[in-house]
Structure 1
């Protein structure tokens, strides 16, 4: 729950430990020599903590939301607001754009999921009710426009049909955050406690569980090809392979001996780089070379990161009430 409700203290930047894998050298970047990554825009996004953000598939819009119960749509090129989405009765925990349609979905402590028309966001198209606890996360299937998934803090996962506004399936296994594998959408990664379940979307059997974190997992993210999954707990980042070959193997690990970790996203241009949101700082971790670069970024926890593979932008959302763009 730290990502939503708590701020840590500023400590020394985390130390890295092991990292081993063969990565195409064209993908690697030396974060200590000539590589640049800088803030390009910032906006005070809320009157209270911002805990989630996401880019539209064309990269033209950014959505942010959090404790003030509202979601805001921003034009990415100017960071000026397009619309404010109101309707939830409690804080918003997650916000996601549909990959294929102009739709946006939000999850909330009010136990509901709302689906909005990003082009006409005056009111929600659907309000999905059925969860008996705070809804912690949600995601759209990458190529089944009708399918949306959500999970609550009791560990219940629900599949919803946007076409008919009903719950299509209920099962257990996800509590904190869930993300569909991009492109093919064969797997759903769902974090509960210190374990990640990799669920087969069709069956929906649990294909495997990824174990190794000692503390609760705050965040999970896939790389753009869907063959690597990164997971973040406050004291560690682990990267797992889920493509061909050694599935479910941890291929990179970063341990934190100081500043806590809260969020992560794969860099849109350099696949060997992982951006990690910490308390006040943004860490860039070159997994292949095990190099770190630390950037002062916010005045609070960086609760969420998002990436646009179209524009190459990275967005950070923070408890300091601001959203920033980086490139």
Structure 2
């Protein structure tokens, strides 16, 4: 090290960044940095330049860092909530995505099973950066600027990650009832924004909606919220042709089966393999299956159907079809062959098909 004026220079002291303070769990220091170093944005176009929206090599922002520190146990719940609120009010973009899985901070929080208080701090637009007074002025001149502001700082309710999962999918997985209620209520109220409205029937890469997931896992409260939404599609099929009622029946969740049936789900829809919900509740040794069957039988009776007779007729039809298939296999097929004349005047040829395989064309 070079001497300056006969003295060794003091090594420069490393100055902790906002992300480092969050990662270290130093809530007070991080809050002080946000309060002293971050000025409120004057326009949505400035968002990317703000310190609260700085990104690391993975594309993660300070909001992502808060979620990671919470999930890994370096931050407590109250500290995480305080930081999320401070960051959002200072202009942090809640819809920012990291590079790998395309997760926003709220996706990451749901995947990490963060507590409801943190989820709501990330989702609730009451904590979004407050627009300047000039944007609150009435008149069409500011309408486009206001839309841009809301699009930048308020939650895009149907944002999906690399797996096609939106917030409702993940809320159903971890039974985040408060968040699901907020998103659905926000949708019905027609939240202020730029067209990023909630699609309650959004599907992931397997074709599943949030209702499929909630039904499969028996999330009764979330199923009730979803079926009450005016835009819900009860009998939408996933990539295998399964409806939410199939999912709930397989899971053995009598309460959600009843909710779906009362809401109007079709009892007789079949999957791509030809299975109806009745095929999954025929096991008399399974108490859950028996309970589901009782719920279905009562509902069918109210609709004027005899469910037991329906299942017997279906079983008889399947047995008859299987018997016909066996008889046809035993008898063989195509032993005699067929003759035909082609259109271009060639001699007749015989295509011989035998039970054990196919022979080539021969003159």
What TM-score comes out, normalization by structure 1 length?
0.24
Structure with more strand by fraction: 1
Structure with more helix by fraction: 2
Look at both structures and tell me which one has the larger radius of gyration over its CA atoms. 2
What TM-score comes out, normalization by structure 2 length?
0.22
Ranked by relative contact order (alpha carbons within 8 Å, sequence separation 6 or more), the top structure is 1
